[in-house]
Chains A and B, each alone.
Chain A
């Protein structure tokens, strides 16, 4: 890649390669923050500034009304994740961060699918829903809305299967997570 400050030309391929350097396994970060205005902006802004892409983001209250939980998932090699958790710790309103181990974590998201299904294919769809323990929450003449809870993988698998029926739209919450066993997340 061209040296900074010099006139050496930088190819677009080089730029793209540099942009793709930071990809690795998926991480789920569980971040406890003070429930104050602007805290989400601070967290999201930090990711933007350090050039990290958030895949999903879910925010909600915890058992303590003064504390909120931000659950976010992102792609990254191990090294940058370490850097990002350290940078997050520097935010004054961030109380605690866990980079959740996939094996020791229960992660779930909620997804809603609107499918273009009429009478002819409804039975087949219901069969798939049954296997995935998805719930039909709305039926109209030419459409069905299905609700599904599960890991991101499960939601994606379901999406693959129902897409051929005619996927009108889909909404996903992004994963929330909690650790297995007695210990706190």
Chain B
């Protein structure tokens, strides 16, 4: 059979149900195979949209996402989603066309050295050099993408090789001698960690996106509830621990709650699980959690002691390690009363510093109120994607996520334009749940073209634009740190999002009245098909509280 038909067989053997992509010259053979391969292919309007959709699909379902693009610009358009998937550990296989082998290195039409360009931003990549390699490369790509610390894998296939006639034999194994992720945590280390936890008087559990990736939310909950351990999550970890909950402190970091950040600051022992001590978490590194010892559980050994030295490192899968840690901890019969004083302190912060904003205006909508209205209108039960900026932080603060894989955003790379295509991918992967994209008026324009894809394919995403007419986060920083010199952040009143939605075949609405916002949103979300809601909010609201750049957690402002 043709190598491209073998490619389809390999995809089916991996259980692929849907892919996102856009054809071009170098992958014409692949698209001919798609014609009757029996795999659902969603034609996107821009390869970046396809890449982010594959990410959204992967994050919502836990399965490997797949995105296709042609050579040259089709491939380079995938670079942002690849980098995004690398930073947030998203399992996606990217399959790009490449020019014919005889043209490689000659600056041929639509030639780009995709392998070279993506080297620093892939978990691994394959440049196909012989058609017989294709099925194995696909299987190994899926294996690498989904196991260990998940991530993006690129498979680049020259056009002529994809047309070769090859025998297809199912591939039952992978041959990757240099790749053996450590899944089982070391028992001695786990026991040591349990003892340290039993002796801690001011412990905090700090959980990240790794808990979601490892499907370890149940284990995290069971561990936290084996005593009264306070829990905070990173932006990527939201939903890993159910919110609200009496042991839930809220998100930590630059725009986290004071309670979570103060608890980290005063903790004597921090259990980090699937989190990587990003600079948006630690603030000033030298003053981060100065009294704490650290237990660090991560499947990627390179994360341990990268930014903050771990006293008890545990390399392993969070699900495996947390389950065993709970068993070990229970066996110790720790004195539960020892945490009384700590909880008194934490509850004091909670009472004194809840998340708050000034909401005394008449009908004007505060952005935080808009997020709360989305929460109300969806019953807190939706999958929520976001773009990047102020609206993302408000969504993280004011929408409580009761379960994992409900909150899908671009944390590490901070990719504007992520939200709409990610929502599309999530809605394809989880068709029976409402999918809302909370977008900014700046971000949404970076991939709004995928609304056409949604309309054409009946993908009913609900896009709620928190519209302040600004690149709001940049404006906030210019206000706070650059003497209010608002340099190139005013977006004006463009485009008309209602008309834009209608042009794309979606329903468009503009909401400006706070008093009816919840019911208006409820009606919008109940509307069939893709919907775009332009919510006009107060223009110069800031995201608070905030750890100012280079400051310590205890010096939060706002």
A→B interface (CB under 8 Å): 3-7, 33-34, 37-38, 41-42, 45-46, 48-49, 79, 82-83, 86-87, 89-95
Contact = CB atoms under 8 A, between A and B. Distances in A.
B1 interface: no
B119 A42 contact: yes
A41 B119 contact: yes
A68 to B, nearest CB: 12
A5 B300 contact: no
A89 B116 contact: no
B306 A83 contact: yes
19 contacts: A3-B550, A5-B481, A5-B549, A6-B481, A6-B550, A7-B482, A34-B177, A37-B129, A42-B119, A46-B120, A48-B120, A82-B305, A83-B306, A89-B301, A90-B123, A91-B124, A92-B178, A94-B178, A95-B178
Given A4-B549, A92-B179, A86 B116 contact: no
B127 interface: yes
B523 interface: no
Contacts of B119: 41-42, 45
A92 B124 contact: yes
A34 B178 contact: yes
A93 B481 CA distance: 45
Given A37-B127, A49-B120, A90-B302, 10 more contacts: A3-B551, A4-B550, A5-B477, A34-B177, A46-B120, A83-B302, A91-B178, A93-B178, A94-B178, A95-B177
A13 to B, nearest CB: 18
B509 interface: no
A78 to B, nearest CB: 11
A91 to B, nearest CB: 7
B47 to A, nearest CB: 23
Interface string B291-317: 000000000111001100000000000
B67 interface: no
B323 interface: no
Contacts of A87: 302
Interface string B99-132: 0000000000000000110011001100101000
Nearest to B129: A37
Interface residues of B, number: 26
B176 interface: yes
Given A6-B481, A42-B119, A92 B144 contact: yes
Given A34-B177, A37-B129, A45 B120 contact: yes
Contacts of B120: 45-46, 48-49
Given A86-B301, A90-B300, A93-B178, A38 B127 contact: yes
Contact of A3 (B144, B306, B483, B549): B549
Contacts of B115: 38
Contacts of A34: 177-178
Given A6-B549, A83-B302, A41 B116 contact: yes
A41 B120 CA distance: 10
A46 B124 CA distance: 12
Q: Classify the secondary structure of B's interface with A.
A: loop
Nearest to A95: B178
Interface string B178-196: 1100000000000000000
A138 to B, nearest CB: 36
A7 B115 CA distance: 38
Nearest to A84: B302
A82 B483 CA distance: 42
B495 to A, nearest CB: 29
A42 B179 CA distance: 15
Nearest to B148: A90
A45 B122 CA distance: 12
B82 to A, nearest CB: 14
A92 B179 CA distance: 5
Nearest to A33: B178
Contacts of A79: 305
B130 to A, nearest CB: 12
Contacts of B306: 83
Interface string B470-494: 0000000100011100000000000
Nearest 7 A-B pairs (CB), nearest first? A3-B550, A86-B302, A5-B549, A92-B124, A6-B481, A49-B120, A95-B178
Interface string B129-162: 1000000000000001000000000000000000
Contacts of B300: 90
A62 B97 CA distance: 35
B128 to A, nearest CB: 11
Interface in B50-84: none
B151 to A, nearest CB: 9
A45 B119 CA distance: 7
A27 B518 CA distance: 63
A34 B175 CA distance: 12
Contact of A89 (B123, B177, B302): B302
Nearest to A93: B178
Contacts of A45: 119-120
A7 B481 contact: yes
Nearest to B300: A90
B457 to A, nearest CB: 35
A37 B128 CA distance: 11
Contacts of A90: 123, 300, 302
A11 to B, nearest CB: 16
A167 to B, nearest CB: 37
A94 B176 CA distance: 10
Nearest to A45: B119
Contacts of A91: 124, 178
A90 B176 CA distance: 12
Contacts of B127: 37-38
**Most B CB within 10 A of own CB, among A6, A49, A89, A90:** A90
Interface string B306-342: 1000000000000000000000000000000000000
A112 B241 CA distance: 64
B38 to A, nearest CB: 31
A93 B115 CA distance: 15
A92 B144 CA distance: 9
Nearest to B485: A7
A163 B456 CA distance: 75
Nearest to A66: B177
Nearest to B116: A41
A82 B302 CA distance: 9
Contacts of A93: 178
B181 to A, nearest CB: 10
A7 B485 CA distance: 11
B176 A92 contact: yes
Contacts of B178: 33-34, 91-95
